[in-house]
Amino acid sequence: MPRLPRISGQEAIRALERLGFVQIRQRGSHVVLKKLTPESTVGCTVPLSQQLAIGTLAGILRQAQVTPDTKLRSKKLSLIQEKWLYSRNPAAILERNLV
């Protein structure tokens, strides 16, 4: 997985809400979000910390089933998407700069 940007828990929640997730509950400093899909329900837990650890952010994205193919409207998650895509296909960087 590529390098992920440092974001806060609140920024991660806002980005996930833009992808259709809804806050279900909060217990202490952890917020549970869920999203209904035709196949199942996808859920993830986000801690409300000032700065999420890289491994924590990667785990949240894995729980939320966010992939590079996901249409991301969030600026922060778009950055994650680009880095992820470019780490898998370095030639895409050159193509993007030439176009």
Q: With 0.85 as the threshold, say if the pTM is over it.
A: no
Question: What whole-number distance in Å separates Cα of residue 24 and Cα of residue 12?
Answer: 15
Tell me the per-residue pLDDT of 16-46, one tens digit each, with 9 for 90 and over. Answer: 988 889 999 999 999 999 998 888 889 999 9
Q: Which two tokens stand for residue 63?
A: 């729980």
Q: How many angstroms separate the CA atoms of 7 and 49, rounded?
A: 9
Q: Terminal CA-to-CA distance of the chain, rounded, Å?
A: 26
The predicted structure's pLDDT at residue 4? 75
Superfamily of domain 9-98: Hypothetical protein. (3.30.920.30)
Helix, strand or coil for residue 14? helix
Domain boundaries, the chain: 9-98
